[in-house]
Amino acid sequence: MVTDSVPEAQPGGFAERVRQRSRAIRSWLCIGLDPDPTKFPPKVPRTAAGISQFCQEIIQATQDFAVCFKINSAFFEAFGSAGWKALEDVRAGIPQSIPVILDSKRGDIGNTATAYAKAVFEALNADAATVNPFLGWDSLQPFLEYGGRGVLVLCRTSNPGSRDFQQLEIQGEPLYLRVAREALQQRVPADVGLVVGATHPDALERVRRLDEEIIILAPGVGAQGASVAQAVRAGSNSNGDNLLASASRDILYPSSRGAPADEARRVAELWAGESWRVKEHDGAPA
């Protein structure tokens, strides 16, 4: 279902909640919850209960600086039914004022996509989800029908191998730009956004030039080599807004020997402040 005009975000939907949260805490930092048990502190068990405990401690330590929390479902799914229970507990432990993105990169056809969307938006009550457009827009339609929820479409992902397909030329432009253009044309109840890796500042700039208002999730800050400042400068709009600089490993597993939760808070506070300083310097005054 495509039109020539770009729809506005739903009032009170994901995009507006993100903007309101950003203004309230003066940050554009998204914190990824990727609980890898092999990296846990010694006192945290490498179990489903352990990943729940670990994430809850990170949430408590960093929530003052997080515009969103992005939960990577794979680390929970690896523990089977106990992992799903841990995922539910972690989701429930995030304050209602903070939007939650389920990072599961779903994409399938027909009733399968409908079941995936129901799991994300009803069973887990996520505010947004990452989705894979490779099967075509009809495969995402069940997600797009959820009014006010965020549907973040993979566009130019942060991994090096993204160039294998996403850079291929399609009628004179790279595939990722074609995905971005078509995402912007979706007239649907959901708030459509894009995933563009912070590791590709050139792609962030090109995608942002297509539209000022769309929310862009930019993973890859920290361990993958991108900086908060780099992401915000390349991907925010003319006011310095609408770019979620997403970091996971450097916040969850800081290199310092201090208490893990304290160090996570320190890094989150540092990067949240950096995201807002770039906004105020390069964009319009807050």
What's the pLDDT tens digit per position in 234-253? 999 999 999 999 999 999 99
Give CA separation, 271 vs 6, 15, 169, 202, 275, in Å: 32, 21, 35, 21, 6
pLDDT higher than 70, residue 5: no
Per-residue pLDDT, 2? 32
- pLDDT > 90: percent of the chain: 85
Average pLDDT over residues 52-77: 98
Give the span between the Cα atoms of 250 and 47, in whole angstroms. 22
Query: Do 3 and 185 form a contact (C-beta atoms < 8 A)?
Result: yes
pTM metric for this prediction: 0.93
Q: CA dihedral defined by 67, 284, 235, 192, rounded to 10 degrees?
A: 60
- Is position 39 annotated as part of the catalytic site? no
CA-based nearest residue to 120, from 154, 144, 97: 144
170-214 per-position pLDDT tens digit: 999 999 999 999 999 998 999 999 999 999 999 999 999 999 999
Give the span between the Cα atoms of 102 and 31, in whole angstroms. 12
Per-residue pLDDT, 10? 58
Of the residues 39, 43, 70, 105, only one is catalytic, namely 105
**Thinking of the domain 14-278, which architecture would CATH place it in?**
Alpha-Beta Barrel (3.20)
Give the span between the Cα atoms of 235 and 217, in whole angstroms. 9
Both tokens assigned to 5: 């005009």
Give the span between the Cα atoms of 148 and 144, in whole angstroms. 9
pLDDT higher than 90, residue 222: no
3-17, 192-206, 251-265: range with highest mean pLDDT: 192-206
Average pLDDT over residues 147-152: 98
Q: What is the mean pLDDT of the chain?
A: 93
Per-residue pLDDT, 11? 64
pLDDT higher than 90, residue 224: no
pLDDT higher than 60, residue 123: yes
Per-residue pLDDT, 279? 84
Distance of CA 38 to the CA centre of its chain: 23
Give the span between the Cα atoms of 187 and 185, in whole angstroms. 6
Residue 218 makes CB contacts below 8 A (sequence gap 6+) with 195, 196, 197, 198, 204, 226, 231, 235, 243, 244, 245, 246
Both tokens assigned to 57: 């401690």
CB atoms within 10 A of CB 283: 17
Q: Confidence class of residue 149 from pLDDT cuts 50, 70 and 90?
A: very high
pLDDT higher than 90, residue 255: no
